[in-house]
Amino acid sequence: MEKRVIPVLEMSCAVCAATVEKTVRELAGVEEASVNFSANTLQVVYDPDKISLKDMQAAVSAAGYDLVISENAEADAIDAEHRLYLDLRRRTIGAWSFGLPVMVLSMIFHSPSQILTWILLALTLPVLYWGRSFYVSGWKAVKRGRANMDTLVMLSTAVSFLFSLFSTIYPYFWLSLGLVPHVYYEAVAMIIAFVLSGKLLEARAKQSTSASIRSLMGLQPKTARLVGKDGEEKDVPIAMLLPGDTVSVRPGEKIPVDGIVLEGGSYVDESMISGESEAVKKQAGDRVLAGTLNQRGAFLLNVQALGADTVLARMVRMVQEAQGSKAPVQGVVDKVSSVFVPVVILLSILTFVIWISVAGWNMFPYALLTAVSVLVIACPCALGLATPTALTVGIGKAAQQHILIKDAFALENMCRVNAIVLDKTGTLTEGTPKVVGEKLYSGFEEYVSVLLAAEMRSEHPLAVSLSEYLRQKGVKPVEISAFESITGKGVMCEYRGEKFWIGSKALAEENVGVLLPDLFSIYFGKGDSLVAAFEVKDALKENSKEAVRQLESYGVEVCMLTGDKESAASEIARQAGITHYEWGVLPDDKERFVLDLQRRGKCVAMVGDGINDSPALARAAVSVAMGKGTDVAMDIAMVTLMNSDLALLPRAIKLSRKTVRIIRENLFWAFGYNVVCIPIAAGVLYPVGILLSPMWASAAMAFSSVSVILNSLRLR
């Protein structure tokens, strides 16, 4: 199965989004499809052996919309949306240029003469032309047995215009019935002008909601300087590079690909990806990332990943997928939106019938006006935009702060978190411990090379520190066999037919068969004999204490779990201000601890950075990985803190709570607007002298959609 985020064009409302989603979901080979109306994207999971992107595009085109599936889809979509925006702006200006005179003349002359009605007709026809997209889209929807916002605009303006045209050509028909002929050209013109204005403002505001994506996309250069076998350099498109190629990077240039430094060195600004403010020193053997900025020196790098496989591209893809995902609350909104337009049409017909039934045919003009007003004022867009716009802005803002949120479910869940479980090493601490003490036994000098070889294969921070310590002493590794990692305890290996083990006090006691003093962090032995023991200490991260304080101020219970010994655990807990902690914890124990908290009714977030944290991460309601941790932890985690700064965690919770609050405000406004305004448009306030005209109904409808987007943009 493949997962893609594909730009969608020509959608005008939430019903359009639902149509695209349903069209794609029903295709053979598509497992999952989700459309984000605010971001104009389709997120699809499909089997490429059963269906192609071109097949999806053909199906969506038949439904009246378009998918952008080119190689450079994002850029092409942005260009297409810009062209559509310029066309929309031109049509809006044209509609107002002719619509305003229609409105002014109708206000001055309440009972226009026969000649004036023809003038009003002539002025209205260009407005209809500039609003033709409503009729094209609305008719396509009707032919498919569906109805969208454009259907409402089409029906309301068509009814008003045809009635006015009939009254202009055959005024005597109404006079013969004893009725005064009325024309509603101003309603037609202003409905189209207001709705076009709303769409224009909406399009402009929606561009702001996805600004974070565009800024991330703009980080990666389009070309690279390829170094040939003869040493010559030439600029080539990124797409022409292959893994293993050599690329030259000069001072002041953005690094085009992920790679390993071969020659030279420099300082690289990685703040756009990691958030680290200080430049990082890079030399031969170090990894560099696409999109980061080379500052001082020049170097050659070996291409490891390019294009869609770079860390930057993965970040962009993760943000896009998250923005395209749906929060649980959106399911209810989708169900309401699917029946919204048909219900509004029925309410409009019912309004007309009630007016005629109660007041008689003498009130025909009022019956027609109220029916049209009901069609116009109803706004499915506000409902459709309420959740996705807030999610798009919230997830985008998080990405700008170097917090990667995998999906909407995680964002919504995070606001409910009231208990957080923290790993110690690499999460609360720097993750770069130092050897501060050692005790060596007989045989250490003979087997120290075995110790180094085994620790070099381990990803654990303590193993990395010990490896570095031994290398600085001039120790060289040997070839070992039967290497085995024992999660939460340590590693085992063989050398010349003999078994060796390195790890925790628990692992040492299992092999030695006696209780050992709780004095050291790493034990090394052969068979049932202890060869060496090392004390390794790790420093608390600068922001960890403040992060814990902030979390507790939000009403979150903070706990620490570690496989380390009691003395080390208690010292870090004391420094961080954590009262609830456990030591000597295995991976299964971490998972059980999370489960126990959940049984107490807690919504638990687990924060870790290693393989040993994976079971607990998978169990938690929200899983958080440190960006400098293992790939396994990051793959499982719903949220990744890219610079491994714990201070980002309370920031993520605060952003989540604010986003969910904005979603609730948007939904309250969207539902409340329709509940209040539709009855007013139907004429329930007519007895007290208030009757809403279609013109002002269209203005209210346009304002409702824009207000939802503007409220969401308060997150920025």
Residues recognised as catalytic = 423
> How open is the CA angle 377-382-384, to the nearest 5 degrees?
130
- Looking up tokens 């561009």, which residue turns up? 207
Structure tokens that stand for 613 in this block: 């944290």
Instruction: Compute how many other C-beta atoms are within 10 angstroms of the C-beta atom of residue 115.
Output: 8
> 525 near 501, Cβ under 8 Å?
yes
Distances (CA, A) of 462 to 434, 489, 536: 8, 12, 7
Are the beta carbons of 316 and 39 closer than 8 angstroms? no
- Distances 168 to 147, 162, 163 between C-alpha atoms, Å: 30, 10, 9
C-alpha 711: how far from its chain's center?
18
CA distances to 5, 7, 37, 309, 416 from 70, rounded to whole Å, are 12, 10, 20, 18, 40
The dihedral formed by the CA atoms of 120, 126, 129 and 131, expressed in degrees to the nearest 10: -70
At 347, give phi and psi (nearest 5°): -65, -35
Instruction: List Cα–Cα distances, 71 to 75, 77, 97, 644, in angstroms.
Output: 9, 11, 40, 33
Sign of CA pseudo-dihedral 493, 498, 499, 502: negative
What secondary structure letter does DSSP report for 429? B
| Of 394, 387, 367, nearest in space to 657 by CA | 394
**Reduced to 3 states, what is the DSSP secondary structure of residue 447?**
helix
Per-residue three-class SS string for 496-534: CCEEEEEECHHHHHHHHCCCCCCCCCEEEEECCEEEEEE
Q: Residue type at 63? A: A
Cα–Cα distance between 354 and 652 in angstroms, integer? 52
Cα radius of gyration (the chain): 33
Residue type at position 324 = G
CB 375 within 8 A of CB 693: no
**CA–CA distance, 641 with 627 (Å, rounded to integer):** 5
User: Which structure tokens are listed for 253?
Assistant: 């240039």
User: What three-state secondary structure class fits 707?
Assistant: helix
Residue 249 contacts residue 260 (beta carbons within 8 Å): no
| Rounded CA separation 383/394 (Å) | 18
CA distance 270 to 275: 7
Measured in whole angstroms, the distance separating CA 659 from the mean position of its chain's CA atoms is 12
Query: Residue 277 is which amino acid?
Result: S
Segment holding 347, helix H or strand E = helix 330-359
- How many alpha carbons fall within 13 Å on the CB side of residue 185? 33
